Structures are given as C-alpha cells and as structure tokens.
Amino acid sequence: MNTHPLSIEALLVLDAIEHRGSFAAAAEQLNKVPSALSYIVQKLEEQLKVTIFVRQGRRSVLTPAGKHLLIEGRKVLAALNVLSEQTKTIANGWEPKIRIACDSIIDIKPVLTCIQRFLSEHENIEIDLQEEVMNGTWEALIEDKVDLVIGAPAPVPLNKGIRAIKMAVFDSVLVVSKAHQLSKQLAKKLPKDKVLIDPNKLSKYRSVVVHDSAKNEIPWSVNVIDGSQHFYVSTVSQKIEAIIAGIGIGYLPVFIAQKYIASGQLTEIPLTENKVTQELFMAWKITNKGKGLSKLKDILLQT
C-alpha cells in the first residue's frame, strides 16, 4: 500500500522552513539535522512533481505552488490540533460541542454574554446556537437536536426525561401601530374616557402571529385573537416590525413593548381582561452529564 507523500511531519517541516527562512534554522527548531529536512522536502517534491522551495540568497522561499500547499497544510495542522484537544476534552468528561436553542421571545444579549464568558474559559468547546419558536423549542430538545433550550414556554413536556428550571415570568400586552386605524380610534377616546376594550371585539382587525417552529410535534398558539385574519411571521423581531408597519395588531411581552410604546411607535390597547402571563424555562435532558453543559448552565443561572 502506497503512503501519501503529504504527512503531518512534511507539513510541519514546510511550516518551520517558511517561518524560520532556512533549512538550518528550521532544523534547529525541530531538533533535526538539516539533511533530514532536505530529504523530506526533496521526497515531497518528487512525489508531487512540483518545486516547493527556491533559493534567494541564504533564504529558502516558497514557490506559488509551495505557498498554496503550506496555506492549506496549515489548515490541516490547525484542524488536527483542534481534534487532538477535543479528544483530550472528551476523555476528561467535557463535550466538544454544545447545541443550544433559544426561543425567539427572549433577549439574546445576556445569553451571548454568558456564552462569551464560558468560551473564554473553555475555548476548545464549540457552541451551535439556533432560534426556535414555542413548541419548536421543546421539539428540538426532545428529538436530541440540541442539548439545552433557553426561553422555552410553559408547559414543560411530561415524561420526556427533561429537567426544567423556570428562568422568567412576563406579562404580555396587546399593541398597535400609531398609523393603524384602531390606534386613531383609541386616540379619540383616550386618555379622557379610559375605555377598556373587550378582546373579543377585535376580531375584525388582522393580528400578527409568530409561527410555531415545531415540525413533528403539535404546534402551539398563544395570545391569538380568535376569529381574526392572521399575518404570520417567523420570529418575534419580524412580528414587532410588522406591527409597527401597521399590518396588524399583536401581543408582545411587556419588557419588549415598553421601549416601542415610550418612543411612540406603538400604542397599548387597554383590555377588559388582565394581562396574559407567560413562564419561560431553561431545560436539558436528565441523561446529559456533560461537564461543559453543567458549567454553562451554572453561568446562565447566575444572571
């Protein structure tokens, strides 16, 4: 069986020669004799049928073909280094990759701050972050597509081997754009009359709804106005922009809606019934004992 001319040793030799500028200096770095390096490079050139180095005075300089070989070769060396470190990581109980699904409803900034803190301590662990909506967030965990979900809505699925911790509770308000006809009607009545509106009387107005991202589980719908025409979007950020554009009315968490109400872009629709309360959870599979996941959970729970 023929061995491939490109070996890890050959790539390390090319890297050292290019870095140090000569075979002699590279040999000193690699603790080898210069003739051993010359033999490796000569053998590589013969088998690849290319010239890798040319002499320029006392320096050995890469040819264009040699430069390409070294640039791509360094990627291989870097990948091998990562593989080696990840193997050691796994052997010590640390997983090489953590997959996270964040529900569209949450503020992603504090989550990213926690992830940055985690990665600064564990740089060999990769993070795969994706966005899901409502039951799609739970589905990703149940089907083992992710290791951790953040901001998943109540209720927590039963008998799925899931451990869940409540991370937030928020109220929702129904809002409308200043340009919307309903907003103009409210402006005529408020603030003098403080008229409260029955949400059942709003079915004639189009409502903006975020699609549940579940593909196999039964999709959920929360804070939907019965009987109204719907304008569907994929994320909460799209929902906000659609409401501001006057496409329809819709429920938003108070913590999100506040700044748009304060800026005058949106108006709260005063309702006869109390605000809808929603619980959000962070959750993972009980069987997942990875040290990386455990550490990341601790950081997230400290915020």
**In tens digits, what is the pLDDT along the chain, a chain of 303 residues?**
456 668 888 889 998 888 888 888 888 888 899 899 889 988 988 888 999 888 887 788 889 998 999 899 998 888 888 777 767 767 677 888 899 999 988 889 999 999 999 999 998 888 999 998 878 889 999 998 999 999 998 889 888 899 999 998 888 888 999 888 887 777 666 555 566 777 778 888 888 988 876 555 444 455 566 656 889 998 889 999 999 999 999 888 888 899 999 999 998 888 887 667 888 999 999 988 889 999 999 999 887
Residue position matching structure tokens 């603030």: 191
For 8-91, CATH gives 1.10.10.10
Dihedral of the alpha carbons of 203, 208, 213, 217, in degrees to the nearest 10: -10
Q: Residue 248 in contact with residue 155, Cβ under 8 Å? A: no
CATH 3.40.190.290 boundaries in the chain: 169-278
Q: Which CATH architecture has domain 97-168+280-302?
A: 3-Layer(aba) Sandwich (3.40)
Q: Which residues contact 243 (CB under 8 A, 6 or more apart)?
A: 175, 176, 177, 208, 249, 250, 252, 266
- For residue 5, the one-letter residue type is P
Separation of alpha carbons 134 and 140, rounded Å: 11
pTM above threshold 0.75: no
| Residue 269: closest CA among 196, 167, 210 | 196
Measure Cα distances from 12 to 44, 67, 79, 83, 180 in Å. 13, 14, 13, 17, 66
Q: Residue 103 in contact with residue 134, Cβ under 8 Å? A: yes
Strand 250-253 and strand 162-177: the pairing is antiparallel
CATH 3.40.190.10 boundaries in the chain: 97-168+280-302
CATH 1.10.10.10 boundaries in the chain: 8-91
Q: Which CATH architecture has domain 169-278?
A: 3-Layer(aba) Sandwich (3.40)
- For residue 199, the one-letter residue type is P
Q: Taking the CA of residue 157 as centre, how many other CA atoms within 13 Å lie in the half-sphere pointing to its CB?
A: 23
Crossing angle of the two packed helices 291-302 and 108-121, in degrees rounded to 10: 130
Q: Residue 244 in contact with residue 177, Cβ under 8 Å? A: yes
- For residue 290, the one-letter residue type is G
Q: Is 100 helix (H, G, I), strand (E, B) or coil?
A: strand
Cα 72 to the center of its chain, rounded Å: 28
**Surface-to-core class of residue 126, CB atoms within 10 Å of its CB (0-12 exposed, 13-18 middle, 19+ buried):** middle
| Residue 162: closest CA among 282, 285, 279, 281 | 285
